[in-house]
Amino acid sequence: MFEFNDLGDYIWKFNKHIDAIREEEISKLDAYFPDDPKLRAYRWLDESRKLDHSFPTALNYSFVVLVYITLETRLLRICSLLHESRKLPLRAKDLSGSGLERSMAFLEKLGGLSRQRLPLWTQIRKLATIRNCIVHTSGFLEYSNDKKELLALIKDQSYLSKENRERLDAFERKEKRVVPVITTVQVQCGERLFAAQKYASFACCYGRDFLMSVLEEIKSSWPDPDDKQAASASLHPQQKRAAGGSDQTRSGDEVRPVRFEKTRRGREGVSRFPHAGLQCSGSDTLTRGGPRRGGAGLAHIQSG
């Protein structure tokens, strides 16, 4: 999960670069136009527009999309691991919809997972809506199919967790000012979505914690394979059908559910699917036969 933590740090540090650029541009005004206040004003009008609007919008749009892509691909990989290790009859990519919807449908049909039990599911759905507006209409509400939903989520702040909403409300009351997180701005081409650095950072945390809650749900739905009686009793009906063709496990069939075991190894969380010979650790790319450092994957797989 450290990829999400690294993304959060990346988001914060790169937004700080805008502050450094601002100071640099201010220092240039006197150097470039020491005797012409009018030209200084014209230059700052142009530079401040970029620093206040264009740069933050482009930067945080890209971060929101990257967080969503990271979450979506990790969910698809989890589904792939379950399909391979359990020899399930269906794959996530066989289903229709976005990557997020395919993954969640797969985990509900064959993994016994309920999205309604996942505490951050609402915020992940809102993240998907915001991401779609950014990707498909460059943030312009007029051209988005989700305009009504976007305006509603901006108003009720349902894109934030309850804890974040309460903290934000307390901060705004204390400071006596509104802190924009997701809002709209009027630009030349129309009303456009604005995502602040705070939202990109929040989304990073939501993606990480949501993924952890999915793995915990899988753990509870696919119990310890060493406890065969508990495994048989707790399997979801779809899991039993996948394992034996009916809701009742056939006589002589071995129920071998996936086990997700959270351990510590240094600073890395380690997930295990032991009966399938799979080990996933938090900072490597998913590959067969060992880790590949520095890639885009969530983990590595070690065979045998």
CA 139 to CA 137: how far, in whole Å? 5
CA 12 to CA 124: how far, in whole Å? 21
CA 128 to CA 102: how far, in whole Å? 13
pLDDT for 11 beyond 50:
yes
Would you state the structure tokens that stand for residue 232, as one six-digit string?
């048989």
CB atoms closer than 10 angstroms to residue 169 = 12
Mean pLDDT of the chain: 77
Global pTM reads: 0.71
Q: If phi over 0 gives left and psi between -120 and 50 gives alpha, with beta otherwise, what is residue 255?
A: beta
Q: Which residues pair with 177 in a beta bridge?
A: none
Q: In the prediction, which pLDDT does 9 show?
A: 84
* In the chain, domain spans: 2-216
Residue 130 one-letter amino acid: I
The average pLDDT across 104-113 equals: 87
Question: 226 or 30: which carries more pLDDT confidence?
Answer: 30
60-95 pLDDT, tens digit per residue, is: 999 999 999 999 999 999 999 988 888 888 889 888
260-299 pLDDT, tens digit per residue, is: 333 333 333 333 333 333 333 333 333 333 333 333 333 3
Backbone angles phi, psi at 88, to 5 degrees: -75, 150
Q: In the prediction, which pLDDT does 294 show?
A: 37
How far separated are the first and last CA of the chain, in Å rounded? 24
Where helices occur in 176-250 by DSSP H, the ranges are 197-221, 228-234, 237-244
191-204 pLDDT, tens digit per residue, is: 999 999 999 999 99
pLDDT for 237 beyond 60:
no
- Alpha-carbon 111 to chain mean position: 20
